[in-house]
Amino acid sequence: MPDAPRIAYLITSYTLPEQVLRLAETLRRGSPRALIALHHDDRRCAVDVPALDVLGVRRVEPPSPVEWGEPSQLEMVLRCLEWLLERSDFDWVVLLSGQDYPIRPLVDIERALAGSGFDAFIEATRVEPPALSRLVPVDEFASRYFYRWRKLPPGAPGRTLLAIAARARPLLSVRSMPSGDWVGARAFRTPFRPGFECHRGSDWFTLRRRAVDAVVALLRAKPEILDHYRQTLIPTESLVQTVLASDPALRISGDYRRFTVWRPGDARPRVLGCDDLPDMLASGADFARKFDQTVDRAVLDEIDRRVHTA
């Protein structure tokens, strides 16, 4: 039987601090040897630092301010991965949000990783470059990663630019984000080429250390890749996926080991409840998301009862 791997559970959060603590407690109870690290954007709420210290949770500090879907989110993830490489001898890193929860026993998840023939469990689907014809709609993901994006100013100037951009498709594209409206212009140059095609997928993944090393090493050797992604939207759903899918030395599983439920047209998965338990537990996934104990606390209690009770 393979030796038990050293797992680093990296939690990123900005809300629901009691639920973040519950997740950390469950991880520690199920995996006493694991490194648990937390990056919590504390602009909205604070976490219980003494309680986290009791659990041996290490915090990435100072926390970076993060806006969902913007380059700051990517910068935070990369910073945390480098932080782990510098401070831990982990074998695998599991990236989680504060609204994730394990739906298999941690010992089973970690045993499966130890015997895995893969270097990464990450979703990675190729993104084709957009056509220039007005007759061909620009794919959602092509518009994210083949355009250079800028946030529009508020008020009348922004509305004027938004109207101009809407008439200039496909050279320009527009998108509303939580922080406001953005406009993108088709990039004349991108880092994508044969052998380094653009890919996209969920921004939640499980990576062997050599895969994390590969991401960090490539970005240090070719900073123009990160420079490009700093001008895209939702870059966490493409940069790591593109780097790993383009590395022939790595063995990639397209199964990212998460259970989610999506409503048509929604940008984020819906909150899970007790009605989802049968499908969730039958999925074979390691983690599910997302949960909100202010909406349905009973579902987490039932997962604990069925999965995490010794």
Instruction: Quote the pLDDT of residue 134.
Output: 65
Token pair, residue 169, equals 């498709």
Angle between helices 106-114 and 17-30 (to 10 degrees): 60
How would residue 271 be classed by pLDDT, with cut points 50, 70 and 90? very high
pLDDT in tens, 56-99: 999 999 999 999 999 999 999 999 999 999 999 999 999 999 99
For tokens 């995996």, name the residue: 31
Q: How far apart are CA 140 and CA 159, in angstroms?
A: 22
- pTM of the complete model: 0.93
Backbone angles phi, psi at 72, to 5 degrees: -60, -30
- Asked whether the beta carbons of 28 and 36 are under 8 A apart, the reply is yes
The DSSP bridge pattern shows strands 147-151 and 180-186 to be antiparallel
* Arithmetic mean of pLDDT, 140-166: 79
Token pair, residue 261, equals 């439920």
Q: How far apart are CA 217 and CA 303, in angstroms?
A: 39
Instruction: Quote the pLDDT of residue 97.
Output: 97
Among candidates 287, 295, 294, 292, which has minimal Cα distance to 260?
A: 287
